[in-house]
Structure 1
Amino acid sequence: MAGIVALAVGYVLSQFYRSFLAVLTPALGADLGMTKAQLSFASGGWFIAFALAQFGVGVCLDRFGPKRTTGLFVALGAGGGAFLFAAASSPWMVIVAMALIGVGCAPVLMASLFIFAKTFSAARFAVLSSWMVAFGTAGNVIGAAPLANAAEAFGWRPVMTALGLLTLSAAAAIALVVRDPERAGEKPAGFGFGGYLDLLRIRALWPIIPLTAINYAPPSGIRGLWAGPYLTDVHGADALTIGNVTLFMAFAMVAGSFLYGPLDTIFKTRKWVAAVGNAVGLAALVSLALQPVIGIPVATAAFVVIGLFGSAYGLLMAHARAFVPAHLIGRGVTLMNFFAIGGVGIMQFATGGVVTASVVPGEPAAAYAALFGFYAATLGISLLIYLFAKDAPPHRIP
C-alpha cells in the first residue's frame, strides 16, 4: 500500500508538469520572450518525449519491475528537467527541460497499472486505474490557481527549484517503498521490442487505439496550454483569472476520472460508457467552435464539461487491457499509453499550427474557433471508429 501511495504522489507531479505551462504563459512571455508557437512546442515536447519513452518503460517494467524503473526515471528525468527549467535563460532551454521532465514522468502511472494488472482481478482494473488517474489529476489543481499565486508571490524560478527538490524526494520514496509484484512462474519477458509487434497484431485493439489517442487531447490541451491564451486574447483575463478558470476545469477532470471508474461495472459495458461520455464532450467542443465569444462564465462551464467527460482514460485502458496477454502487460499498458500521450503531443503541435494559420487581425476569436473546431473534428472521427470496437464487459473478460 505504501508503494501505491508513493506512486500516486509521483503521478500528482506528473499531472502537474503536463499542465502548468498555461498558468506561466504571461511570465514566460515577459521574461524569456516565448511565443505561442514556442509554448506549444514546449508543451508538445513533453508529451512526445513521454510517449516515445513508453517503449523503453514497457520493456523495463516487464524485465526489471516498477521499483527500479520508476525511481531512476523520476530522479534523473523529471528532477533534472525541473532544475533546468528553473535555470532557463532562453526558450530552447524550456523546451529541452519539458522533454526531460516528460521522459522522467513516463513510468509513474504505468508502474501503477502494472501492479494493478498483476495483483488485482481484471474486473477491478478500470476502477483502480481511473481512481489513480483521478488522484493524480490533483496535480492539475495544484498547477492552476495555487501555482499562479505562488509564482506571483515568489517568482517562477524559485517555484520550479522547489518543485525539483520535491521531485527528487518523490523518486527516493518510490525507490524505497514500492514492491515489485511476484511473477508466480510467469515466463519472463525479454529485452526486445518484438512484444509490441505481437500486440499490434491483436485486431481487437485497432478500433480502440484512435479514441485512446484523441480522448485526452482536448481536455489536456485546453487545460494545459490553450486556456491561458484563449482567455487572455478573447476575454482579456489576467493570470489569476486564468488560474481560477483552469482550477474549475482541473476539478472537473478529477471528478470525471472518479465518475468513469465504476460505471463499467454498473452498466456492464465499457464500450458504451466511453462512447456516450465522449459524445457529450464532443458537443461542448462544437458549441465553443460555433460561438467562441461567450463570456468567461459560459466558457468555464464548457471547459468543465470537456474536462468531466474527456476523462475516460482509465476506462479505455481497461477496455484495451482485456485483450492483452499476461506476460505482455507492461508492454500492453505502455503501448496504449504511447498512443494516449503521443496523440496529445501531436495535437499540441498541430493545434499550434492551426491557431497560427487561423489568425485574423482584429478578430482574436477566429483562431480559437478554428482550434475548438479542430478538436471537435478529430474527436468525432475517432469516436466513429470506436463504435466498431468489440466490447469487454468487466463481468465477461475475453
Structure 2
Amino acid sequence: MPGAAVLCLVFIPYALGHYLSCLLRTVNAILAPQLMAAAGLSPAELGLLTSAYFLAFALAQLPVGLVLDRYGPRRVQCAMLLVAALGTLAFAGSGTFAQMLAARTLMGLGLAGCFMAAVKAVSTWISPARLPSVQGYLIAAGGLGAASATLPVRLFLQYADWRWMFILLALGCVVVGALILLLAPTPPAAPPKRFDRRVLVDVYRHPAFRETAGLVLIPHTVFFGVQGLWIGRWLTDVGRYPEQSVAWLLYLGMAAVIFGAISVGMVTEWAAKRGYDAITVAGVGVALFIAVQCAIALNWQPGIAQLAVAFTLVGTITGIEYTIVAQAMPPALTGRASTCLNLLIFAGAFLVQAGFGQVVGLWQPDSANRYPPVAYSAAFGALVLLQLPGLAWFAWRRRRVGPRNTVESAF
C-alpha cells in the first residue's frame, strides 16, 4: 500500500481514536471544580470517579487483545468507539456520583483498545523498519489529546457548559468510529489465537519483565494517576493559582510529554553508544522523577509552577519500560508482555488516583473548598515511599553485578 494511502486510511483514523482516548483520560484535571460542584463530590469521590477510567482500561486489556487478534482492529475499534460514545453521552447527562461513575467506567471500556488497535493496524500495513517512528507519532497524537484536555477545554468553558463538551466528544467518538469503518482496510485473515494462561505466567516470571516492573511500574502508575487529575488540584489548592493559570500550566505539562518522549529516545540511544543499557537510563530517570515528587511533597512555593511541568516532563521516562521489555524478552512473548504491562499499569493508576483522593480527604477544606498543603504533602510523601524500595533494590542489584550488564545478568 502506498505511503500516502497508509497515512490517510490507516494512521490518521486510528491516531484520532488514540487522541480522543488521551483527551478523555485527562480532561477531569481541568473539570474538577465543575464536577465537584455539579455532584457535590469529595476528593475521595473525585479520585474514584476519575480513576474508574483506569480500572475499566485494566479490566479490558486481555479481552480486547483477544478480540483484536480474532476480528481485527477495524471492526473491534469501530464497535468500541460506539460504546465510548454512549458512555461519554451518559456522562454529559449525569447528575449524581453513581451516574457519573457508571458513565466514566463505560467510557473507559470503550476507549480501552484505542492504542492497541492502532499499533496492530500500523503493524499490519507498515514495514517493520518504520514501526518505531510511526509508533512514536502515535504517542505524539496521544500527547496532543492530553494537551487538548487542558487550555483548549478551559477556553471552551468560557462559552459553553462542560456537559456540551462531552456531547461534542461523544459525537467525535462516533465520527472517528465511522472513519475507521469506512476508510481503514481489512487486514488479511489470520488464524485465531487461543488464550493460554501459561504464556502469561511465562511473562510474569521472566527476569527482564520482573526487573523492569520492579523499577518502573510503580513510578509509571504514579505518573498516570497524578498527572491526569491531582497535579491540577495541587496547583489550585497549594499554589493558589486561578483556573486559567492552572489550565495553562497543565497545557505546558502535556506539551512536555511530546518533548520528553523524543528526549528519552535520544538519551537512550546516546547511552547505548557508551555501553549503558536502557534500564540503567530508566534507573537514573526514576531517581529524578522521585526527586521531583519530593520537592512537590515539600510544597516548595517558589518553584510550584516549574515542578508541575517537571513532573510531566521527567515522568515520561516511565514509558521506557515497553522498550526495555521488547528488547530483552523473546519475540514470542513481547505482545503478551505489553498486554501484561498495560494491565498492571492501568490497575495501578486506578489505585494511585483513587488512593490519593482518600489521603487528601482526611483533611478539611477551607471556605473556598481548598485543601491544606499538608494534605498534599502526605499524599505525595506516601507515593515517594512506595517508589523508593524499587529504586533501592535496582541500585543494589546494579552495584552487585555492574552497571553495564544486561537485564538477565541481574538474576
Contact 1:227 1:242 in 2 (8 A): no
Identify the match of residue 294 of structure 2 among 277, 281, 286: 286
Amino acid at match of 1:245: L
Q: CA deviation at 1:182?
A: 5.4
Match of 2:42 among 35, 43, 49: 35
1:215 to 1:39, Cα distance in 2 relative to 1, 3 A: same
Separation of aligned partners in 1, 2:18 and 2:134: 14
Mapped to 1, the partners of 2:38 and 2:376 lie a distance apart of: 25
TM-score (norm 1): 0.87
What's the counterpart of residue 396 of structure 1? none
CA 1:274–1:283 in 2, change beyond 3 Å: closer, same or farther?
Answer: same
- Deviation track 1:85-126 (CA, whole Å, cap 9, x = no partner) reads 100011111111111111111111122333566677878765
Residue identity opposite 1:225 in structure 2: L
Q: Do 2:70 and 2:191's aligned partners in 1 also have CA atoms closer than 8 Å?
A: no
Shift of 1:167: 1.1
For structure 1, list consecutive stretches of 5 or more residues without a partner in the other structure: 394-398
User: Is 1:83–1:164's contact at 8 Å kept on the other side of the alignment?
Assistant: yes
Kindly provide the amino acid, as one letter, of the partner of residue 320 in structure 1: V
Are residues 11 and 323 of structure 1, via their aligned partners in 2, closer, same or farther at CA, if it must alter by over 3 Å? same
User: Could you tell me how far apart the structure 2 residues matched to 1:375 and 1:131 are?
Assistant: 31
Match of 1:237 in 2: 241
Give the aligned partner of residue 338 of structure 1: 343
Q: Distance in 1 between matches of 2:134 and 2:263?
A: 12
Q: 1:305 aligns with which of 310, 314, 322?
A: 310
In the alignment, the residues of structure 2 paired with residue 336 and residue 244 of structure 1 have an alpha-carbon distance, to the nearest angstrom, of: 31
Map residues 207-246 of structure 1 onto 2, 5 A cutoff.
207-246=211-250
What is the rounded CA distance, in whole Å, between the counterparts of 1:244 and 1:136 in structure 2? 18
Give, as a single letter, the amino acid of the residue that structure 2 aligns with 1:244.
W
1:369 Cα deviation from its structure 2 partner:
0.9
User: Contact (CA 8 Å) 1:23, 1:143: kept in 2 or not?
Assistant: yes
Mapped to 1, the partners of 2:172 and 2:134 lie a distance apart of 25
Structure 1 position 12, deviation (Å): 1.1
> What is the match of residue 45 of structure 1?
52
- Return the alpha-carbon distance in structure 1 between the equivalents of residues 239 and 311 of structure 2: 19
CA distance in 2, matches of 1:127, 1:248: 23
**Number of residue pairs matched by the alignment:** 387
CA drift at 1:286: 0.9
1:275 to 268, 275, 283: 283
Question: Following the alignment from structure 1 to structure 2, what is the Cα–Cα distance between the partners of residues 15 and 174?
Answer: 18
* Alpha-carbon distance, 1:381 to partner: 2.8
Partner of 2:199: 195
1:237 match: secondary structure: coil
Hey, what's the Cα distance between the residues in 1 that align with 2:304 and 2:77? Answer: 38
Matched, 1:67 2:71: no
| Corresponding letter in the other structure for 1:339 | L
Q: Aligned equivalents of 1:182 and 1:380: distance in 2?
A: 47
The code of the aligned residue for 2:87 comes to G
Contact 2:216-2:286 at 8 Å conserved across structures:
no
Question: Aligned with 1:13: secondary structure?
Answer: helix
Q: Describe the superposition over 1:102-154 as per-residue Cα deviations: whole angstroms up to 9, x where unpaired.
A: 11111111223335666778787655444422321111111111101212310
2:375 to 367, 371, 382: 367
Give 3-state SS (helix, strand or coil) of 1:152's partner. coil
Percent identical pairs in the alignment equals 27
Q: 1:170 to 1:236 in 2, by over 3 A?
A: same
CA distance in 2, matches of 1:181, 1:329: 21
Corresponding position of 1:132: 138
2:10 and 2:184 in contact (8 A); partners too? yes
Counterpart of 2:262 in structure 1 is 258
Alpha carbons 1:289, 1:370 under 8 Å: kept:
yes
Residue 321 of structure 1 and its aligned partner are, at CA, apart by 2.1
Which amino acid in 2 is paired with 1:263?
A: V
Q: Name the amino acid aligned to 2:281.
A: V
Partner of 1:95: 101
Q: Could you tell me the TM-score, scaled by structure 2's length? A: 0.85
SS of equivalent to 2:47: helix
Change (3 A) 1:18 1:386: farther
Residue 111, structure 1, aligned to residue 117, structure 2: yes
C-alpha contact 1:80 1:101 (8 A) present in aligned 2: yes
- Structure 2 counterpart of 1:249: 253
2-structure distance, mates of 1:123, 1:318: 15
Q: Distance in 2 between matches of 1:266 and 1:117?
A: 27
Structure 1 stretch displaced more, 99-108 or 256-265: 256-265
CA shift, 1:366, in A, is: 0.2
Q: Which amino acid aligns with 2:66?
A: V
* Deviation (angstroms), 1:63: 2.7
CA distance in 2, matches of 1:87, 1:386: 48
Question: Cα offset for 1:214?
Answer: 2.1
Distance 1:191 1:172, change over 3 A: farther
CA–CA distance in 2 between the matches of 1:131 and 1:392?
A: 28
Pick from 300, 322, 329: which aligns with 1:317?
322
Distance 1:49 1:191 in 2: 20
Per-residue deviation, residues 253-284 of structure 1 (Å, max 9, x unmatched): 22112222343333323212222222222111
- 2: distance between equivalents of 1:187 and 1:294? 59
| RMSD between superposed Cα atoms in Å | 2.8
Aligned partner of residue 312 in structure 1, secondary structure: helix
> Could you tell me which residue of structure 1 aligns to residue 402 of structure 2?
none
Taking the aligned partners of 1:75 and 1:363, their CA distance within structure 2 comes to 38
Secondary structure, in 3 states, of the residue corresponding to 1:322? Answer: helix
Q: Aligned letter for 1:62?
A: D
Q: Contact conserved, 2:216 with 2:282, CA < 8 A, in 1?
A: no
Where does the alignment leave 5 or more consecutive residues of structure 2 unmatched?
Answer: 1-5, 399-404
Contact 1:221 1:348 in 2 (8 A): yes
